[in-house]
A and B are shown apart, each in its own frame.
Chain A
Amino acid sequence: MARLLEHDAKAILAARGIPVPRGQAVSSPEEARRAAVALGRPVVVKALVPVGKRGKSGAVRLAADPEAAGEAAAALLGREVGGFPVERVLVEEAVPVAGERYLAIVLDADGRTVRVLAGREGGIEVEELARREGGIASLELAPCEGLMPFHARQLWRSAGVRGPALPRLGQLTAALHRTFIELEAELLEINPLAETAAGELVATGAVVALDEAALFRQPELAERVVSGPAWRPPTALERQVAAINAAEPYRGSARYLELEGGDIAFLCGGGGASLLLFDALLRAGGRPANYAEIGGNPTEMKVAALARVVLSKPGVRGLFVAHNLTNNTQVDVLARGVVQALCEAGRLPPDFPVVARETGVNEAEGRAIFEAAGVRWLGEEVTLSEAARIMVQAMRERYGESDGDPARP
């Protein structure tokens, strides 16, 4: 899921006719103060991090005057919210609110449908509201079906809304749906959707998540999205892998997730086998240093680049290379790339245990390359689980039965 920070999300909505508060993203308390002066009224200061529930974690603050805005920014900048450091804050006008509603459009993969959710009451307790009968009204749409304002008014009526806001809600919901289709979004959420005393609507909270696979059609947004784990920013090694993929997008694919601790570098694939092999390493008592999925017949250069990344993580004392029986990935190409990276790093067996369970295309040649470098090669006689046990055993043989912590070998 490609997430957008809130100021980018709001810029997108504003450009499509959905009213948002005036505001500015800033990166220092002084800039925050000046932004508040320019807005000329009380402001809200919000940490710009790609996570939800910021209100509950104190990352949204009301400031009555510019001095207070500067102080709020000072308190938030440099803090960590949901695993992400706050590098910028959004300073925006505080909207005098008479009521708060909830509106979301979401791609529901389980239901194979686009779903519009409307809540009479919005805010941070909306999930609580959803558990109550009739708390949230829901409408399913076929993927290429438009949403007319009258559909939306019916939806809001069934959510219990009436009064002068209703026609505006109909228009805004239809505009949000057009935006959802245009951006190929996975999620557009406005919460709260503020209603002023005069019945005007303002999107005071906005969440936008796009489909990574469709970003090639949204080039102007592609550079603004936040990808990677949901719980922290990408690490330096993860950024290296992203660069390797970007440099050679057409041959082979690699996913890489750096983990805390661990001593076994994990260079496995494809997707299902990686999941299975990682589970098997843990079951055998091993401690992988990363997770990875490598497949799609990568070039030798790409394999070597990825092998360098997994080997360069501090604390790594062994390497596990394994795949399912390959349909197209060439075992000899894999072997050359892996052995090249091992040689460069000066980390070769038997000093540095390496186990490779690689079987499939060009297997005999691959096996010869692995074995010439001292790698323990395993073929189809060995199941993926057995291969994981052999890897863990190789670590024990090399480093002893100690718990294997690299700090205490």
Chain B
Amino acid sequence: MAILLDRNTRVLVQGITGREARMVTAHMLAYGTAVVCGVTPGRGGEEVAGVPVYDTVAEAVVAHRPTAALISVPPAATLDATLEAIEAGLRLLLIATERVPKHDALRLLRAAGAAGVRVIGPNSVGLINPSQRVKLGAIGGDRPERAFVPGRIGVISRSGGMTAELGLMLRRRGFGVSTAVSVGGDALIGTPPADLLPLFQADPETDAVVLFGEPGTRFEEDVAEALADGRFSKPLFALVAGRFTESLPEGTAFGHAAAIIRGGSGRPSTKLAALRQAGAWATDDLDELFRFLDALASSRADRKPGQH
């Protein structure tokens, strides 16, 4: 079961004729994902890796009934592509595009929220369900199984690259992954880490969650709140990187507005303290993260959380 993705997910790729999207489409198909159609305005009638290309999402939806879209278009086209997918009735959108203008990101997230559409990203490398061999996005490249083997750990990462690295390190220590989600590297994203916790909480195939956090935003503080008030009760292992950024000069704030509206500071040390206070196994040291996981595994010797 895992979360968000399964064998029944039918994928539409927006911007499918682009260089990156062509490669990702081929990799998704090779892994076993049902990529059923693609869209590039003006390129309808072509094929990419055997997948038919349409001019509009509306046409592709009528012909193939996709349930999820991978949006891989240039930054300036992302708002338009996302609104097109929402209007055509898609329920899960993964936006891979980096450097989406912030005003556009605000607008597309508002529209998705109003329509009840789940958005992962922008700036997400993808999500993957290894037990069913389904992935949405570039995650894992052409060899997903090198990083992601089936197992019972959920992965949530603010860094696309670290999603694969964590999968790889988990695999090497005998653990596997139920679902791994690169939530996107920006501050304005559709599904911040705390929003995934209820899904992992409800997933019988997930025993614990590993979170990779970074400086900035309130995302880790929100995760701590979800732990503290019991919305998430499985073990949570958090790695928050970037402690050194706290020793960089801050510079003089440009204007007063940030100080007026901001409560939290986005500092890794504050995030770690909040997570620990809430009962997470939180650290800024990768090796300590794995010591935590090993400790959990040996304390439950009868049922190692990584084993499928």
Q: Which residues of A contact B239 (CB under 8 A)?
A: 276
Verify A275–B256 contact, CB threshold 8 A: no
Contacts of A230 in B (CB 8 A): 249-252, 254
Quick one: given A112-B109, A360-B141, are A211 and B102 in contact (CB under 8 Å)?
yes
Does the CB pair A110–B260 fall under 8 Å?
A: no
Say what secondary structure dominates the interface of chain A. Answer: mixed
Q: Does A271 contact B (CB under 8 A)?
A: yes
Query: Chain A nearest CB: distance from B285 CB in Å?
Result: 6
Question: Mask for A369-388, Cβ within 8 A of B = 1, else 0?
Answer: 00000000000110111100
- Interfacial chain B residues near A239, Cβ < 8 Å: none
Q: Tell me whether A106 and B258 are in contact (CB under 8 A).
A: yes
B55 within 8 A of A: no
Q: Assess whether B146 is in contact with A325, with CB atoms less than 8 Å apart.
A: yes
Are A327 and B261 neighbours in the complex by a CB distance under 8 Å? Answer: no
Which residues of the other chain, A, contact B264 by a CB distance below 8 angstroms? 110
Known: A110-B217, A211-B102. A187 touches B251 (CB 8 A): no
- One digit per residue, 1 when the CB lies within 8 angstroms of any chain B CB and 0 when it does not, for chain A 298-319 equals 0000000000000000000000
Number of A-B contacts (CB under 8 A): 215
Closest Cβ–Cβ distance, residue B282 to chain A (whole Å): 14
Quick check: A270 and B160 within 8 Å, CB to CB?
yes
Contact bitstring B87-108, A, C-beta under 8 A = 1, else 0: 0000000000011111110110
Interface digits, A241-262 against B, CB 8 Å rule (1 contact, 0 not)? Answer: 0000000000001000000000
Residues of B within 8 A of A104 (CB): 255-257, 260
Which residue from chain B places its CB closest to the CB of A81 in the assembled complex?
B252
CB distance from A256 to the nearest CB of B (A): 14
Which of A82, A186, A385 contacts B102, CB < 8 Å?
A186
Looking at A53, A130, A273, A359, which has the most chain B CB atoms within 10 Å of its CB? A273
In the complex, what distance in Å separates the CA atom of A138 from the CA atom of B185?
29
Cβ of A269 within 8 Å of any chain B Cβ, yes or no, is yes
By the criterion CB–CB under 8 Å, are B162 and A272 in contact?
Answer: yes
Q: Is B234 an interface residue (CB 8 A)?
A: no
Query: A272 with B214: in contact, given A209-B254, A325-B146 (CB under 8 Å)?
Result: yes
Pairwise interchain contact A213-B101, C-beta atoms closer than 8 A: yes
**Is the CB of A79 closer than 8 A to any CB of chain B?**
no
Leading 9 A-B pairs by shortest Cβ distance: A272-B159, A230-B251, A324-B165, A231-B251, A270-B161, A275-B241, A214-B101, A275-B242, A272-B162
Q: Tell me the B residues contacting A by CB distance below 8 Å.
A: 20, 23, 75-76, 98-104, 106-107, 109-110, 125, 138-142, 146-147, 157-162, 164-165, 167-169, 172, 185, 187-188, 212, 214-215, 217-218, 239, 241-245, 248-262, 264, 284-287, 290
Mark A residues whose CB is within 8 Å of B: 1, 3, 50-53, 57, 82-83, 102, 104, 106-115, 117, 126-127, 130, 136, 138, 142-144, 181, 184, 186-187, 189, 191, 207, 209, 211, 213-214, 216-217, 229-232, 253, 269-273, 275-276, 278-280, 282-283, 291, 295-296, 323-328, 359-361, 380-381, 383-386
Beyond known contacts A106-B261, A326-B164: 11 more, CB 8 A cutoff: A51-B251, A53-B253, A83-B251, A110-B262, A127-B256, A187-B254, A187-B258, A271-B185, A275-B245, A278-B242, A327-B125
